[in-house]
Amino acid sequence: MNHAVLIRLNYKEDYPHLNWRLSFFESMVLPRLLKQTVPDFDIWVYCNPLHVDRLKAMSDRIKTYSTNRTDPALPKYDIQTRHDSDDLVSLDYIFKIQEICKNHEKTVPLVISFQPYKLDLWTLNRHPYARYNARNCSAFQSLYFPDKEKEYRNILSFNHRRIWQTYPDVVTIPLGYCDIIVHDSNDGTKL
C-alpha cells in the first residue's frame, strides 16, 4: 500500500501569522512526521510557490505542489491522510492508519477519523475534544481506497465533517493519537 500525507500550508506573503506557521511546522509538526514508527509514506505540502525552497530545505522527504489543493497531477495513493500544518500527531499515528487499512476487508473506501485532544500551547495541557463520530468526522482523517483504479478522489476535495456522505464506511479512533492546536499560535483554542 502506498500512503501520502497531504498538508495544507498555503498562505500569502502578507498573512499575519506566516512566520509562526512556518516555524511551528518546521520545529514541531514536521519532526513528529519524520519520526513516525512506520516511515513508509510520502509527505506532500500544498503551498505558496514562494515558500517551496524554504519547505524543501526542511527535509528531503517533502514534496510540494502549488496549483490547487486537489491537483489531479498528484500520484494516486491507496491511503491519503489530510493534515493541518499546525496540528500534532503521536509517533504511531501512521502505523495506526496503515494497520486499520490492512485489516479493512471490504471493497468499499474507508474513512478513518481520529478524536483529537485540544492542546493549549502555553501550558501544554491536553483537553478532551471527543466530539466527532461517524456522521461528523474530524480533520484528522484518512481515506483508504481498496481499489484506487476503480474509484478515486482527493481527500482535500471534501469538507472533513461531511466526507461520510460520500464514503459512509467510517471508523472513529479514540483520543490519544493527535492534538489540535486550532490555528495561529493558540488563538483559536478558546481555552
Q: Which residue has the cell 472533513?
A: 160
Domain extent listing, the chain: 3-189
Residue 185: what pLDDT?
A: 53
Beta partners for residue 148, in sequence order: none
Please report which confidence band the pLDDT of residue 191 belongs to, taking 50, 70 and 90 as the band edges.
very low
Of 56, 43, 48, 51, nearest to 2 by C-alpha is 43
Element (H or E) spanning 84, and its range? strand 79-84
- For domain 3-189, give the CATH number: 3.90.550.10
pTM: 0.92
Alpha-carbon distance of 167 to 162, in angstroms, equals: 9
Kindly report, residue by residue over 123-136, the tens digit of the pLDDT.
888 888 778 999 99
Position 42 pLDDT exceeds 60: yes
pLDDT in tens, 132-178: 999 999 999 999 999 999 999 999 999 999 999 999 999 999 999 99
Distance of CA 89 to the CA centre of its chain: 9
DSSP string, 140-191: SEEEE-TTTTTS---GGGS-GGGGGGT---EEEEPSSSEEE--STTTGGG--
